[in-house]
Structure 1
Amino acid sequence: MTLPSLHVERQLSASVDLCYRQSVPILRVAHPSCSATISLFGGHLITFAPSGEKSLTWMSDNAIYDAKTPLRGGVPICWPWFGNTGQPSHGFARRQMWQLAKIEETPEGATIQLELFDSEASRALWPHRFHATVTFTLTHQADIALTVTNTDKHPWTMGGALHSYLAVEDSEQVNVEGVGCQYLDNFAAGKQCPAPGKVTFQEPVDRIYTGAKETLTLTDPLGNRRLKVNNRGATSAVIWNPGQAAAVKMADMEDNGYLKFVCIEAAIEQPTQVVHPRQSYTLATQLLDERYQG
């Protein structure tokens, strides 16, 4: 992964600059505890690293920064649905320009909150009113919380995911633990399958683990790193790696890109979560290098 070269537009706080890469506005965080980049397009965490370390997230070198195409890598926000349960795929939130709501800094890190409101364009795709915020609390770990509030007069249902692409040295050598004992296989029309104790990636993987623990562990022996993924508000964990054959067909992914990441997603895979008027729901994930665990 090559970090994008960024044009600095202006300084927003002691640790945060507003930058651009092509058409995409990006917040660049350079705090003593960590570094990060966040795209306003999509409300999307691009990179995050504890100070002096490599990014915990993978970003494609072929990602398209035209402020129209969803970015490949990082942590996309899939909302208000996941997958192809609606159109466009994975919802419209990752295709919208979010607005900066606040920046707060402490000696421990930086907190950045973005917000998105319904619009005429969003209501044409999903006929409901809402207010969404995504809050990034960045210290030695990355905490991402998507909170959606129903500002309509009737209940509505939602799905979604925080689609974390986690950086690894070689996906075929890593494993994920904490997934539970069964999964739905998206390569077999959602067939329910028994699960071994670990997920490995010698073959393409697209699975919904309905009994996953809140904490999943990614072990990357070649990278000498263990990452903890702590999910909250999810009904399942989606584990995904496309494999070589699919990767070469993706214009926004390098042919060998599949070797450099695995996805562990906090997901509500079907739009079944009911949110009543004036109520809110939060879907959250935490990315943590085990070496920094308190």
Structure 2
Amino acid sequence: MSTPLLFERQLSASVDLCYRQSVPILRINHPSCAATISLFGAHLLSFAPTSEPSLVWMSRNAIYDAQTPLRGGVPICWPWFGQSGSPSHGFARRQMWQLAQIDEQPDGVTVQLQLSESEQSMALWPHCFMATVTFTLTQKADISLAVTNTDQHDWAMGGALHSYLTVADSEQASVNGVGNQYLDNFSAGEKKPAPGHVTFEAPVDRIYTGAHDTLSLTDPVGSRRITVTNQGATSAVIWNPGQAASVKMADMDDDGYQHFVCIEAALETPNTVVSPGQTYTLATTLCDEKALR
């Protein structure tokens, strides 16, 4: 059982600051939605339109020590994706971000978190930057990662918004809009044809390089359809580890694989060049179609 949130203080009419073990968390309760955001990693932990269950899945075994990346939600993978550098998926999800702004509107709440270079980041990636994650939470969740080059030279980046989306049974779920080819990470990145959709009777770890901007996740058991609209991505990464891998992950529930599908807005290789003064934005929008009816 997870440790309960411990209230610290109210930040605005709909937002308060809490802690789960060592991790500071913003708790949002607005008439349009409820959500939680970890300052560690700038990580969306939950998001639910009013009267609906959360769109994103969090592991019951996630580790809240403010050192270990959190399992589930929407991790920020930056400035690289996967094993392109060390640590895996970059350092942004292992850093404590700063709260920059809270803006409340009748239709929702906007929260901005920021991260810039530090001695720790420079040891891993020797560049100056300003990263801003903006969460616009209404009846849908808009998440954007805007990274500005504040250095004196070009640098290159990759990354992903690694959304774990809730399903009732992954083996019955499907994702449409992925395009007609993918790189199979279970076959050393071999290029394979695809029929435009993907199902999850077996483990899936694929980079769809021709995916549509909008993908749809159909969850027939949960009677739900979630759309994911990505901007600034070069691919959509689709992942579900299956049972054998789930059991081996200390921070994953043994049956966790049954309850999520990952659809990621990704820059799969760290070759997106950003010049001094320029900003690159990677964004995703998560929407429960039922909530907008």
TM tier, smaller: over 0.9
1:123 alignment partner, SS class: helix
Q: Match for 1:158: what amino acid? A: M
* Residue 97 of structure 1 pairs with residue 96 of structure 2: yes
Matches within 5 A, 1:109-148: 109-148=108-147
Partner of 2:196: 197
**Residue of structure 1 equivalent to 2:172:** 173
SS in 1 for 2:9: strand
Deviation at 1:293, TM superposition (A): 3.9
Match status 1:32 vs 2:31: yes
Counterpart amino acid of residue 39 in structure 1: S
Question: In 2 relative to 1, CA 184–75 (structure 1 residues): closer, same or farther, beyond 3 Å?
Answer: same
Aligned Cα root-mean-square deviation (Å): 0.9
Per-residue deviation, 1:4: 5.7
Q: Secondary structure at the match of 1:94?
A: helix
Residues 194-241 of structure 1: CA distance to partner in whole angstroms, max 9, x if unpaired? Answer: 001210000000000000000000000010000000000000000000
**Residue in 2 aligned with 1:260?**
259
Name 1:69's counterpart in structure 2. Answer: 68
Q: 1:53 corresponds to which residue?
A: 52
Deviation at 1:3, TM superposition (A): 7.4
Secondary structure of the corresponding residue to residue 246 of structure 1: helix
Local SS of the residue matching 1:277: coil
Q: 2:268 — aligned with what?
A: 269
Structure 2: runs of 5 or more not aligned: none
Contact 2:52 2:291 (C-alpha < 8 Å) held by counterparts: no
- Give 1:272 shift: 1.1
Inter-partner Cα distance in structure 2 for 1:103 and 1:177: 35
Map Cα deviations across residues 152-173 of structure 1 (whole Å, 9 max, x no partner): 0000000000000000000000
| Alignment-mate amino acid for residue 81 of structure 1 | W
> What does residue 43 of structure 2 align with?
44
* CA separation of 1:141 and 1:11: change in aligned 2, threshold 3 A: same
In 1, the alpha carbon distance for the partners of 2:242 and 2:170 equals: 9
Q: Give the deviation of 1:292 after TM superposition.
A: 3.2
Q: Which amino acid aligns with 1:153?
A: Q
Amino acid at match of 2:238: I
Letter in 2 for 1:89: S
Quote how far apart the aligned CAs of 1:113 are.
Answer: 0.2
Q: Counterpart of 1:17 in structure 2: which amino acid?
A: D
Work out the CA distance in 1 between the residues paired with 2:157 and 2:54: 31
State how 1:210-229 maps to structure 2 within 5 Å: 210-229=209-228
- d(CA) in 2 for partners of 1:47 and 1:29? 10
Number of aligned positions between the proteins: 293
Cα-to-partner distance string for 1:112-156 (whole Å, 9 max, x where unaligned): 000001011100000000000000000000000000000000000
Give 2:156's aligned residue. 157
Alignment partners' CA distance in 2, 1:19 and 1:95: 19
Contact 2:134/2:144 (CA < 8 Å) preserved in 1?
yes
Identity, % of aligned positions: 72
Preserved CA contact (<8 Å) 2:156 2:270: yes
What residue ranges of structure 1 are gaps of 5+ in the alignment? none
Moved more, 70-79 or 195-204: 195-204
SS of the residue aligned with 1:248? helix
Letter of the structure 2 residue corresponding to residue 110 of structure 1: V
Between the aligned partners of 2:84 and 2:197, the Cα distance in structure 1 is: 28
CA contact (8 A) 2:3 2:21 kept: no
Q: Partner of 2:185 in structure 1? A: 186
Amino acid at match of 1:224: S
- Quote the Cα distance in structure 1 between the aligned partners of 2:266 and 2:48: 23
For 1:147 and 1:286, the matched residues in 2 are separated by 14
TM-score calculated relative to the size of structure 1: 0.98
Q: Which runs of 4+ in 1 moved over 4 A?
A: none
- Whole-angstrom CA distance in 2 between matches of 1:180 and 1:35: 33
Q: Tell me, in whole angstroms, the C-alpha distance in 1 between the residues paired with 2:288 and 2:113.
A: 25
